[in-house]
Amino acid sequence: MALTSSSQTKPNHHPFFLIQFLLCITIFSLTISTNVVALTTTKEQELDKITSLPGQPMVTFSQFSGYVNVNESHGRALFYWLTEATNHPQKKPLVLWLNGGPGCSSVAYGASEEIGPFRINKNGSSLYLNKYSWNKVANILFLESPAGVGFSYTNTSSDLEDSGDKRTAQDALIFLTRWMSRFPQYKYRDFYIAGESYAGHYVPQLAEAIFNYNKKFSHPIINLKGFIVGNAVTDNKYDGIGTVTYWWSHSMISDKTYKKIINFCNFTSEKSSKKCDESVSYAVNHEFGHIDQYSIYTPSCKIMQNETNLNNNNKYVRFKNTIIHRKLSGYDPCTENYAEEYYNRHDVQRAMHANVTGISYKWTACSDILLKNWKDSDDSMLAIYKKLIAAGLKLWVFSGDTDSVVPVTATRFSLSHLNLKIKTPWYPWYSGNQVGGWTEVYDGLTFATIRGAGHEVPLFQPKRAFILFESFLTGKELPK
């Protein structure tokens, strides 16, 4: 516009015209160079580029995977997998996805059975496309975190026995800053964090770490805009009460057992009493029956039904025993087995630039050693929520309503103690002509349920989860 308007005057009559002209040329050149950076790859990126995965259908988007060192002295390196947006990736936001556990793989769950572009066939030999992949609207970065999860590794064995919330957040922050040096086109890009389950800790903790880190810079490279978490571990006390309430209200336990748990269990204590453990153990082993606790109305995988042990040292796991060894549920409850078959193939690992150091153990969806030795776990995320809401970040929390592990009642009990002002009262939201769930919008936070979804919402209700995610990115309320 400046060039057009200026061209209507004579340059020799207006000396300032030359300055205007040169300024416009400079801006135009910078715009071109910025676009070139966004559309080209560096040498480091080329080394991480995935040409094609074994058994993969043809796709139009680019993929990259590999390692980023986060601690040289200990030899800790985190494995990532980037699936760029299917259209105009240079214009789409970057979303980091984290799974929980603690100790479970974002490649196994988020990428392979929830929001990623591919699903794994039953024999682990090939892939097929996910119709509702989230990379249709964003660039999705999957991270196996912390070290010891999936392909991520450490050369210091003691790291596997003293992992915890604080180090996980710090390593993830270091990963992001170093990853963006490798992928400079994502610097300053709108950035969001997403995840589920114990990532209810990872996601807000990392968001807070980024927020604090960004204070050091006038123009930070990690342009954090907000986060979205599902079936998220939020507050030990309110999650515990809400979980037992869900069991009782969904007829999973008797009135007698419900009263015992409420009376004997101290939901704020580091250690549980013998009577509490006995009451919970009785509910799980004698009253639940052979159900998938992550999806109480769908069939469970018979291969994985023998997991009943309790971990008395972890107050979260105390009420959610099956998280000690993740069970997978859904329309195909054994899908986790297909991931373990596929990602242990040498040709798959070569294609993904994974296991380059020759890890001495098999790739697994979850790491038991991390879960059993988790050292620090904050009691509550509510203070972080308040801090980030005050900072103006966009926060969404969602809940599949057939999950009994981190159920909708747990999340609602926890969020209610934020005491947020209601902006848009509770209403049913729609996917097509069907109710997709229910939602309420507060000043600073949106809460939504996904009807008929278990713990891994995008696995059970992929279309509804996609609508939810797209609404989150655009900042629009869920469709009425």
> Which residues are catalytically annotated?
197, 403, 455
Q: At a CB cut-off of 8 Å and minimum separation 6, what does 316 contact?
A: 198, 233, 236, 239, 323, 377
d(CA 62, CA 82) in angstroms, rounded, equals 8
| Phi, psi of 260, rounded to the nearest 5 degrees | -60, -45
The Cα-based distances of 334 to 84, 349, 434, 446 in angstroms read: 28, 22, 28, 32
| Phi, psi of 158, rounded to the nearest 5 degrees | -65, -20
DSSP states of 119-135: EE-TTSS-EEE-TT-GG
The Cα-based distances of 451 to 232, 399, 439, 457 in angstroms read: 16, 9, 11, 9
Q: At what angle do helices 236-249 and 408-416 cross, to 10 degrees?
A: 140
Tokens of 290: 């052979």
Using a 10 angstrom Cβ sphere, with 0-12 exposed, 13-18 middle and 19 or more buried, the burial of residue 293 is buried
Tokens of 273: 């009493």
Tokens of 305: 């039904």
**Contact in structure between 49 and 64 (CB atoms under 8 Å):** yes
Cα 226 to chain centroid, rounded: 13
Strand-strand pairing, 63-71 and 76-83? antiparallel
In three-state secondary structure terms, 136 is helix
The amino acid sitting at 173 is: L
Residues written for the chain: 480
**Contact in structure between 167 and 71 (CB atoms under 8 Å):** no
In three-state secondary structure terms, 159 is helix
* Angle ∠(176,181,184) on CA atoms, nearest 5: 105
